[in-house]
Amino acid sequence: MFVPCGESAPDLAGFTLLMPAVSVGNVGQLAMDLIISTLNMSKIGYFYTDCLVPMVGNNPYATTEGNSTELSINAEVYSLPSRKLVALQLRSIFIKPFCEKLLSWVKSSGCARVIVLSSSHSYQRNDLQLRSTPFRYLLTPSMQKSVQNKIKSLNWEEMEKSRCIPEIDDSEFCIRIPGGGITKTLYDESCSKEIQMAVLLKFVSEGDNIPDALGLVEYLNEWLQILKPLSDDPTVSASRWKIPSSWRLLFGSGLPPALF
Amino acid sequence: MAATFFGEVVKAPCRAGTEDEEEEEEGRRETPEDREVRLQLARKREVRLLRRQTKTSLEVSLLEKYPCSKFIIAIGNNAVAFLSSFVMNSGVWEEVGCAKLWNEWCRTTDTTHLSSTEAFCVFYHLKSNPSVFGSCPRKNMQITILTCRHVTDYKTSESTGSLPSPFLRALKTQNFKDSACCPLLEQPNIVHDLPAAGVLSYCQVWKIPAILYLCYTDVMKLDLITVEAFKPILSTRSLKGLVKNIPQSTEILKKLMTTNEIQSNIYT
């Protein structure tokens, strides 16, 4: 359930909700960190649920001594009212079904649309996908009605259908998102509940997924224009997204000097 | 998928956790018998709160029956040893309830006749002092949690081998206004130890003042040096006044260690 930080629940009518799916390489979650950190979004509440493994730590977006001691938990909601953006960040894995609870909050909050940032196993691509851009999008029917023209103008690739059972040649075709966690379920449920939802994903492998996250936020930015459009200079792109302080030591502590 | 050094392709563990797609399909194939088994298992795994050493359940919540202003939780053998020797040794503490649970990891299969030694959590209240687990209203409740983690969990730019373990770190909720007796846990470190993180998350969300003292140690079994690392907490407002006799407590702690050591020696 959503619990506001302040006394009353904020008004999110007409806002765009950005959220990650816990998926391969944690790319959606890394992308959310970049968005919240760069836009300096303020925390407006918690999504208190027993569906996620509990976890606590000090402010992952700390920039100074002063703001470094605010406690953060596994599911928090941030907002940027000037851009009508609200962001849900998830920091641990699911242990119980979560989609229904999440979507009922989305409906009750009054958010106009949801954009899910996700990823899918790159090794599951077919030949055509291997040769094209690694980014894909999916829109629910109600979302298609409102943004189809904009998406068309961006020349984006829609997620292709593939065999439901890959090993069987005459199996039906359907949307599959291997490694996408709850992405497919969220998409299917939103279709049936007529929620305006878009899924933006990248084909990735596990490893250092920071470049993948930067790629995914740039992909999102082509549509939402959160930051000014990219210039032709590729060296500018990575530096305009603010890396949060919690990304330090992503691959462990320092090495013992005795090793050398 | 990943190719190993020897060329065979193996399924690499995915940081995203379990593949939810497969679980969803299994759910759809559940028969009425499967559902009945699953519900029975869920009932067996429920956490039960019991009154003192009897098997009767508590009718009202523990905090309604014994409202308190200070709630101290110790998780793990070193934290529990510290609390038993230093805090609970001063004054008379009475057991008021315990929490029992069962899941597939427990070694016993009998869920209805668990002995008191198998309770996973025992609640005590201080008979003489009304401010601890006493009659003050819940609104002023402050929670202190003590637990340990292995030092290799601590992320630092130095090597963990060079850290002066055991050492303390703290995490506090927004409404906890007092200062901690040690540095706060630096980014990017987190706590995902189930009881501690769960309690602290609850307190942060529901605006209850709470502080978690985390001891990073390289000895996870019961160890004198690790337990003594919690000593600075005795001077904080959370535990002040609860500890009367430190030298005596240290003696009790030494006895606790010796008993444990003898038990663990397979040659005697």
Q: Is the CB of B20 less than 8 angstroms away from the CB of A257?
A: no
Give the model confidence (pLDDT) of B129-168 as tens digits.
434 442 333 457 888 999 999 998 999 988 888 888 899 9
Best mutation site among A121, A253, A259 for testing chain B: the one with the most B CBs within 10 Å? A253
User: What is the Cα–Cα distance from A35 to A242, expressed in whole angstroms?
Assistant: 8
- Stretch B78-95: mean pLDDT, rounded? 76
Q: Is the CB of A46 less than 8 angstroms away from the CB of B204?
A: yes
Give the model confidence (pLDDT) of A7-16 as tens digits.
888 999 999 9
pLDDT of residue B183: 94
pLDDT of residue A233: 59
Asked if pLDDT for residue B113 goes beyond 80, the answer is: no
Query: At which residue do the structure tokens 């008191």 appear?
Result: B116
Distance from CA of B91 to the nearest CA of A (A): 33
HEC sequence for chain A = CEEECCCCCCCCCCCEEEEECCCHHHHHHHHHHHHHHHCCCEEEEEECCCCECCCEEECCCCCCCCCCCCEECCEEEEEEHHHCEEEEEECCCECCCCHHHHHHHHHHHCCCEEEEEEEEEHHHCCHHHHHCCCEEEEECHHHHHHHHHHHHHCCCCECCCEECCCCCCCCCEECCCCCCCCHHHHHHHHHHCCCCEEEEEEEECCCCCHHHHHHHHHHHHHHHCCCCCCCCCHHHHHHCCCCCHHHCCCCCCCCCHHHC
Asked if pLDDT for residue B30 goes beyond 60, the answer is: yes
Question: What is the rounded average pLDDT for all residues in chain A?
Answer: 91
Q: Is the CB of B205 less than 8 angstroms away from the CB of A3?
A: yes
Question: What is the rounded average pLDDT for all residues in chain B?
Answer: 73
Sign of CA dihedral B42, B45, B49, B55: positive
pLDDT of residue B37: 81
User: What is the Cα–Cα distance from B2 to A155, expressed in whole angstroms?
Assistant: 32
**Distance, C-alpha B64 to centroid of its chain:** 22
Give percent of chain A above pLDDT 70. Answer: 96
> Which of A235-239, A249-253, B31-35, B68-72 has the largest mean confidence?
A249-253
Name the least confident of A34-48, A209-223, B57-71.
B57-71
pTM of the model: 0.84
Give the model confidence (pLDDT) of A76-128 as tens digits.
999 999 999 999 999 999 888 889 999 999 999 999 999 999 999 999 998 88
User: Chain A: residue nearest B194 by CA?
Assistant: A54
pLDDT of residue B12: 60
Q: Nearest Cα to B49, choosing from B64, B38, B36, B71?
A: B64
User: What is the Cα–Cα distance from A143 to B47, expressed in whole angstroms?
Assistant: 44
pLDDT of residue B106: 59
Distance from CA of A70 to the nearest CA of B (A): 6
Give the model confidence (pLDDT) of B237-254 as tens digits.
877 777 777 777 777 777
- Stretch A142-169: mean pLDDT, rounded? 89
Of B14, B152, B185, the CB nearest to A57: B185
Q: Is the CB of A68 less than 8 angstroms away from the CB of B156?
A: no
Amino acid in position A190: S
pLDDT of residue B132: 44
Distance from CA of A24 to the nearest CA of B (A): 5
The two structure tokens encoding residue A201:
């994903």
Residues A75/A89, Cβ–Cβ less than 8 Å: yes
Asked if pLDDT for residue B56 goes beyond 70, the answer is: no
User: What is the Cα–Cα distance from A232 to A119, expressed in whole angstroms?
Assistant: 26
B42 touches chain A (CB under 8 A): no
pLDDT of residue B9: 64
Q: Is the CB of A71 less than 8 angstroms away from the CB of B17?
A: no
Q: Is the CB of A94 less than 8 angstroms away from the CB of B18?
A: yes
B128 touches chain A (CB under 8 A): no
